[in-house]
Structure formats: C-alpha cells, structure tokens
C-alpha cells in the first residue's frame, strides 16, 4: 500500500535536528508522495532543496495569510523564479486566517486576491488556507478565482461550506483532526464529499492525530487519517489510499 501526504511542512524548524531521519522513515513507511508547503519566503530555498534531494517530495510555495503584511512586488518576483522548478507543483498556502489575525484583515484579503491571480497566471493549482473566515473566503474565491483548480487545505467547516467549495471545483483535504472527538461536523462532511474530490494530509508538524496528539506530527501519520476516512465511508484503508493517491496525482502532477 502506498500513501500520500498532500500537505506538510518538512522545511520548518521542527525538523531541523532529524529531517533526514524523518524522510527516511517516510520512505520505510511506504510513502509514495509528500507535498511540502513553504509558507513564507524564508522557506522557499529549503523547499527547493528538499524536492531536489528526495524523489518522493514535491513542493508548493506561497505566502500564508499570517505573513500577508510582508507581501510585495519583490515577493512576487521571487515566487515567479521559484515556481520554474519542475517539482514545484502548487501555489500556496494562501487565504485568510481570522482566528489569529497576524496580519490585518484588509491586507489579508488584498494579498489573497493578488496571489489567486498569480496562481492562475502561473497555471498552478492553489492551496487554500481558511480559518474562521468561511464567508469571506468563499466570496473572494467566487470573485477572483473562476477555475476552482485547487484544494481547500485542512478543511474545518461544515457540510454546507463543503458544498460551496465543491461547486466551485475544489478538492477538499481532510487533516488529522478527523480523529478528534470534537470533529463530528468534519466526519459528517466526509459523507457528503465525493471520494474523487478528497485528499488527506497531516499539516505536519501541526494537528497531530489521535493517539499521538500533543506530540510533533509526522508525514506517515497520514495513514491514521486515511484509515479514519475509510472507516467513515465503510471501505478498506487500502482502497481509500488508492483513491486519494489518484486524486493527488491528477491535481498536482497532471497525470
């Protein structure tokens, strides 16, 4: 069985001391593809280094809403250069985060719209971050991003929101939070999303699934999330892993 983690952050400081060991363990655990996502300019070089060194790792780059205040014309020029690498296969994660508000909301909205335009120009699927900003995210996507080519990363809303994103054409990615007792709305939404529109992710080092909650998340823990999705849909983990793998390849690798 081959597994895919469609979203993690292996370039982050959390893996500084044992990154090679973690990646070797990913290979041993049967990971076929890992998408590592650089969320600010300081990570872009590390993302490119990882995709160059490890065949199973692909990359995405973009400016996270936390860092929207740092976005500039120069940032855009850096991104245009970085995405020329053939293993940079996604743009993101970009969007809105009204939970932490690290950047002012008006700046988040403006930078989100600007990056959606750039993702369209560069012909890369977009990876959307949306936290406590459902209404505004949907409004901006409908206005600024007609193709709907991309994924709603770390989905945390309800079935109705899932329907809106699906209608726009997006895939929806399920994180390890699906294993939490409080995730009833997320588990309910899974039944509504067609399997061919699902992805699974760890968002490692964040959002560690049960039973490892409280510890650093690791890409192969995506197996736990995939098993949870499979249980909800009453199919085997092997079958679910295959569906999710095909969805990832179709969206990001165009195969």
Ranges of each domain in the chain? 3-253
State the pLDDT at residue 74.
95
Q: Which residues of 178-204 are buried (b: 16+ CB within 10 A; e: fewer)?
A: bbbeebeebbebbeebebebbbbbbbb
Q: What is the pLDDT of residues 160-218, one digit of tens each?
A: 999 999 999 999 999 999 999 999 999 999 999 999 999 999 999 999 999 999 999 99
| Planar angle of CA 237, 242, 248, nearest 5 degrees | 125
Say whether pLDDT at 255 is over 80: no
Cα–Cα distance for residue pair 105/125, rounded to 1 Å? 24
Confidence of residue 229 (pLDDT cuts 50, 70, 90): very high
DSSP 49: H
Selected from 3.20.20.70, 3.90.1150.10, 3.20.20.140, 1.10.760.10, the CATH number assigned to the domain covering 3-253 reads 3.20.20.140
State the pLDDT at residue 194.
97
State the pLDDT at residue 254.
83
Confidence of residue 2 (pLDDT cuts 50, 70, 90): confident
Q: E strands of the chain, at which residues?
A: 3-8, 31-38, 57-61, 88-97, 126-131, 150-152, 171-174, 198-200
Say whether pLDDT at 144 is over 90: yes
Sign of CA dihedral 229, 232, 238, 242: negative
Task: Using a pLDDT cut of 90, give the percent of the chain over it.
Answer: 97
Crossing angle, helix 41-53 and helix 73-82, to 10 degrees? 0
State the pLDDT at residue 213.
96
By DSSP bridging, strand 171-174 and strand 198-200 are parallel
Q: What is the pLDDT of residues 28-70, one digit of tens each?
A: 999 999 999 999 999 999 999 999 999 999 999 999 999 999 9
Cα–Cα distance for residue pair 146/120, rounded to 1 Å? 9
State the pLDDT at residue 80.
96
Would you state the structure tokens that stand for residue 206, as one six-digit string? 């964040």
* pTM for the predicted model, two decimal places: 0.97
């Amino acid at each position: 069985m081959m597994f895919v983690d469609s979203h993690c952050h292996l370039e982050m400081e959390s893996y500084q001391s044992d990154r090679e060991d973690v990646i070797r363990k990913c290979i041993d655990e049967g990971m076929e593809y890992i998408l590592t996502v650089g969320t600010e300019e300081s990570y872009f070089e590390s993302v490119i280094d990882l995709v160059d060194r490890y065949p199973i790792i692909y990359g995405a780059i973009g400016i996270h809403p936390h860092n929207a205040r740092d976005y500039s014309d120069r940032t855009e020029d850096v991104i245009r250069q970085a995405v020329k690498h053939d293993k940079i296969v996604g743009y993101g994660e970009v969007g809105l985060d009204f939970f932490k508000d690290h950047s002012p909301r008006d700046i988040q909205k403006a930078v989100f719209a600007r990056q959606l335009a750039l993702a369209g120009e560069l012909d890369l699927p977009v990876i959307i971050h949306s936290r406590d900003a459902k209404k505004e995210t949907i409004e901006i996507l409908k206005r600024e991003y007609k193709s709907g080519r991309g994924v709603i990363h770390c989905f945390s809303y309800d079935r109705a929101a899932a329907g809106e994103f699906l209608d726009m054409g997006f895939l929806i990615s399920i994180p390890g939070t699906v294993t939490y007792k409080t995730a009833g709305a997320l588990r309910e939404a899974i039944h509504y999303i067609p399997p061919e529109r699902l992805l699974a992710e760890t968002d490692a080092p964040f959002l560690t699934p049960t039973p490892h909650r409280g510890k650093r998340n690791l890409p192969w823990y995506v197996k736990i999330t995939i098993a949870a999705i499979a249980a909800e849909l009453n199919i085997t983990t092997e079958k679910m892993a295959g569906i999710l793998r095909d969805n990832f390849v179709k969206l990001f690798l165009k195969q």
